[in-house]
């Protein structure tokens, strides 16, 4: 694994190994993929402003999220159907998160069950990503199982009344391979995704299942059936962030669903500052995912107010290349790059990273 020295190395190796339909499913974005590109480009437009002659002998990357200490402010985002990347799928991913002392978020649409993932890594900090189904009993059952299995939070995806148009999946007539199933369900809900009427099997699967009538009132219902804190995932506007908190959410995950929902929305790092500003009076933690591929990306997000960042595709690339060891290698790369950034920038601990450590490139264009 040591031959992979950056996340891009893992990505390149993974893309060579994956079958075309799976590769395209993991890497593609919505329609023209403008936002997919901007998620990364927006980080490149930010500049770090290092301080000199600071004692950085003791670098410390630990932080706390929802009261739980993590060793690294880089967690693993929910990604669907991970056994397409590796036979152990979500199980290998959560074991890596446990070994490296960070957070793992399990997708509702997983190929390993809530209970299977919990048994595999009993000491890991596990959150469960949730979609609300038309059949509330299906949703209630998922929430109950996650709570009983020891998951620490619900990550409610709020940007998905339906799945976006992903042209690669339509062209490939994407379906889940027949030897796999959606492990959190039984019967038709677990296997319906294996068929298609000619388009994306995933889009056809969710079209009749997800509730398009959802409002913020649904948070009250969720809070009535669980003691787990609720994190709103998919927020890109400050007013939505405030609505989420006022409805009862405990944290915000700034996300555009990996640029897979609506093309032309802002990159997540662009949306982050206004959301952090809007919720500061509530003392609410804000997280970010989307486009994070280097330790300097992590640093920039932390400087702009994120408590922690999450990565989806990098974990899939590591998983494809080497299972648990590949995901751990991915996390180690982030850890090394972030540690170097902390020291060279003159901010040896996460708490030392302040807003003035990062600026937009236009700051240096003043005449």
What is the set of active-site residues? 257
In angstroms, rounded to a whole number, what is the distance separating the alpha carbons of residues 245 and 210?
Answer: 23
Work out the angle at residue 351's Cα, subtended by the Cα atoms of residues 269 and 267, and round it to the nearest 5 degrees: 5
Note the maximum CA span of the chain.
66
Note whether 255 and 159 are within 8 A (CB). Answer: yes
Return all residues near 55 (Cβ < 8 A) that are at least 6 apart: 348
For the chain, state the CA radius of gyration. Answer: 20
In angstroms, rounded to a whole number, what is the distance separating the alpha carbons of residues 81 and 20?
Answer: 15
Query: According to DSSP H, which parts of the chain are helical?
Result: 7-17, 20-27, 34-44, 89-100, 114-120, 136-148, 167-172, 188-191, 201-207, 217-225, 238-247, 268-279, 295-303, 313-344
In angstroms, rounded to a whole number, what is the distance separating the alpha carbons of residues 305 and 182?
Answer: 35
What does the buried/exposed string (b/e) look like for 328-355 if buried means 16 or more CB atoms within 10 Å of the residue's CB? bbbbbbbbebbbebbbebbbbebebbee
In angstroms, rounded to a whole number, what is the distance separating the alpha carbons of residues 193 and 35?
Answer: 27
SS3 category, 103: strand
């Amino acid at each position: 694994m040591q031959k992979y020295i950056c996340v891009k190395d893992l990505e390149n190796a993974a893309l060579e190994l994956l079958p075309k339909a799976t590769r395209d499913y993991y890497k593609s974005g919505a329609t023209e993929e403008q936002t997919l590109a901007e998620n990364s480009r927006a980080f490149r437009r930010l500049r770090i402003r290092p301080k000199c002659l600071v004692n950085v002998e003791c670098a410390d990357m630990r932080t706390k999220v929802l009261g739980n200490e993590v060793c690294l402010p880089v967690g693993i985002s929910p990604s669907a159907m991970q056994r397409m990347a590796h036979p152990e799928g979500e199980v290998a991913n959560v074991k890596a998160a446990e070994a490296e002392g960070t957070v793992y978020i399990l997708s509702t649409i997983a190929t390993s069950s809530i209970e299977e993932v919990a048994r595999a890594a009993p000491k890991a900090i596990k959150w469960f990503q949730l979609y609300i189904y038309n059949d509330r009993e299906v949703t209630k059952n998922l929430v109950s199982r996650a709570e009983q299995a020891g998951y620490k939070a619900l990550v409610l995806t709020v940007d998905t009344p339906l799945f976006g148009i992903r042209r690669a999946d339509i062209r490939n007539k994407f379906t889940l391979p027949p030897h796999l199933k959606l492990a959190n369900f039984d019967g038709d809900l677990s296997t319906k995704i294996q068929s298609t009427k000619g388009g994306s099997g995933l889009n056809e699967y969710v079209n009749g299942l997800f509730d398009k009538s959802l409002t913020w009132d649904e948070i009250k219902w969720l809070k009535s059936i669980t003691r787990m804190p609720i994190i709103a995932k998919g927020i890109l506007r400050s007013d939505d962030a405030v609505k989420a908190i006022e409805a009862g959410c405990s944290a915000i995950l700034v996300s555009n669903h990996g640029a897979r929902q609506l093309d032309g929305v802002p990159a997540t790092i662009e949306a982050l500052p206004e959301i952090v500003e809007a919720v500061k009076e509530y003392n609410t933690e804000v997280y970010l995912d989307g486009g994070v591929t280097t330790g300097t990306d992590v640093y920039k997000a932390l400087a702009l107010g994120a408590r922690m960042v999450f990565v989806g595709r990098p974990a899939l690339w590591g998983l494809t290349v080497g299972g648990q060891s590949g995901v751990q290698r991915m996390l180690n790369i982030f850890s090394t790059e972030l540690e170097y950034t902390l020291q060279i920038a003159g901010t040896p601990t996460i708490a030392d990273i302040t807003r003035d450590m990062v600026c937009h490139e236009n700051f240096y264009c003043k005449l």
